[in-house]
Structure 1
Amino acid sequence: MTKQKQSIIICTLPLLLLAGCTNSDYKEEITKGNQALDNKEYEQAAKAFNKALQDKKGDQTAKALYQVATDMKLATQKFEQGKYKEVLSLSDKVTEVNTNDAVKHDIRNLEQQSEKQKIIKDNQNYIENAETLIKKEDYSNAKKELEQVIDNTKGKKELTVQNNKAKELLFQVDKHFQEQKQEELIKKLKGKFRNGSLEAELQTSLNADGSIYCKGIIINEGVTNYFETAVSGINKKSKLFGYYTNQGESEQSTTLTLTETGFEFYSAYPDGSGGIVDKFDFTQKISNDISQIKKPPLDMSYERAAAYTKEAMKKYIEEDEFLNGNATADDYQYEDGGVFEGGDYEIDVWAVDEERQWSRLMKYAYVENDGTVRLEDNPE
């Protein structure tokens, strides 16, 4: 071997030894890095891959693994900080370049947890926004927020609490809209209506229990029929009621139904063979006036006048020291005196002793239509 060849070998050998050593270090760092990835030690993995990259400049494998380790470390930090949207963005980056099976599993698990936590966080924001909007009486936008929560949580047992909370708030919102609709309808129902020969006046108001109080009149062939009732809601029938006239109350055979277009009465025939329906809709409204809605005073009859007089005599006897304990209102007879001047009904009160066979006209009673009784002594 010539001296020249020996010199070449001597100069080349250190380079070969250095290259072999560098390649060995590279592989060792790659192995360390992958082991660290398997153990979720992303910071250690990043350091190992960075060393490998230093040992083998521009190596695409080391570069890709370093990026995976760095992104996994950052994704874990973002998850702990509750920045789930950023975690999902990093997940996409990791998935594009990663070939490590452990990392595939870890990033998928982190992605699933982030998606779940993001939904929970978003739902909580929707609920809080809805509560604020309800306080501001912005029910339309509150409804949108709550419907989003219900859509996000539908069929997911782990989100039952948020689903129930959203439904509870949505119930309040829907109740508001229902009451608002009722109030608007109540305003439209109030007034005077005409359907052919029939006229009606209706007044409505909302009761504390949510039912609708109604009173009004129907004028049919000159006869004014007064009524009072309540309905539980729109398109619901009232209980049976009777009309009042100056002759008294009719049979309990009528129902009232409020609809979204008006109202209707159903009056059953006495023989049960059917009935008649009187309808009034908003196109038949002629005025907002309800001045005629008054319960008509009953025409006084002998029977009613006698009953009122008997009650008045009970009170009179109780207040009279001489009569109290010696007589009762039943000891007197009440005879029909007819209608007196001015419209009062006259009842003649007689004291009768059947044993002695005598009677005496004691008092005159004058009964007004409202039941007020004025007693006057017989001057004779």
Structure 2
Amino acid sequence: MKQTRRPSLWRWICARILALAIGSVIVIAACMWLRYAVQNYWIMGRMPAAVRQEFITLSQNPQSNPERFHAIVDTWWGLSYSTPSIASADWVTVALLVLVMIPFIVVMGLKHARPLALQFSRLRAAAKDVTEGQFGRQAELVEDAPAEMISFAADFNTMTGQLARYEKELRASHVAMAHELRSPLTAAIGRLQGMMDGVFDATPEQLGMVMKQLQHLNRLTDELHLLSLAEAGNLVLDDRPFRLDELVQERITWIMPQADAHNVTLTLRNPRPCPFSGDAFRMGQVFTILMENAIRYGREGGHLDMTLHYAKGHYLLEFADDGPGVQPPFLPEMFKRFSREEQSRARHSGGSGLGLSIARAICEAHGGRISASLPDTGGLAVRILLPFDAADEEKSRS
């Protein structure tokens, strides 16, 4: 199939500006001449034949009898008379003005259209690089371009900047994902191969070690599936009324054996009835993740203080430990996939690095948000804001 070659934007603009400028001036001049030509034809058609013949003769040489010539003009045309002859001085002047104005209009039009074409050209070149995989490509801004084009180019640059960040995060996520999935799989395969080769006996203890790795692998795939659903906006929630304070207390009871093993004290301060409508199972996951993180990375024999109260149209839940905390630059990275900072919170390694990203996904699916900060007293504080609905409180009372 033959591909049609299309002109560049600059040529496209130039052709249309030239056509518009030349055409407009010629049409204006033609309309002016046509107006006088039609008037002249109409008036001469109404003249008596003798007067018309006399006027034609005089118009060829007005100086032969100027008084009679002007008398006929004043009688039939009045002050609006102008001869439609192209050779007359008036129309020669008009022709000269046309010749002068056409280049002027063309030059000024092209001068002011050039920034528009240049900005489009730079955007096209940048877009082409993006299609070839250079996601961070930026289009240089042209100062004299229209405001809409400047805004469009700036938005394009913002978009490509985000694409570059997403690509970087995606590559890092894929590398981390491959590593996390490979580790338990390699351990399980190695242990099974050892039993097949007779290095290990197929005892319940050895089989239990293999099962533990496979369970870890299964948990990883479930967590990745949940995150994929959340990012696609397809995380299904079992929306039912429940009380947040009761759910937190239930999660404390469930995780208490782990806390006792590390001498960590769990305290829910100032509990009050907090009716909420959402998925109790998913929100329970969030609370469990935050409690397990505090136990895993907090201080041996430390404390985890939890508060739950109503603040400015939201429920505020805060989980504050007294552990080593994290480095300030790590705070924005905490809720990304596979994020860990084991140097500062490394009493135990372990975990998939997906917990906080899952907690963020669940909170956002409930219309809330989650954040972390470093209190002046030390440790790490994680805050959850969830929407408060007065209707939920009425349902709870009824």
> What TM-score comes out, normalization by structure 1 length?
0.26
Higher helix share: 2
Bigger proportion of residues as strand: 1
| Higher RCO structure (Cα 8 Å, ≥6 apart) | 2
TM-score by length of 2: 0.26
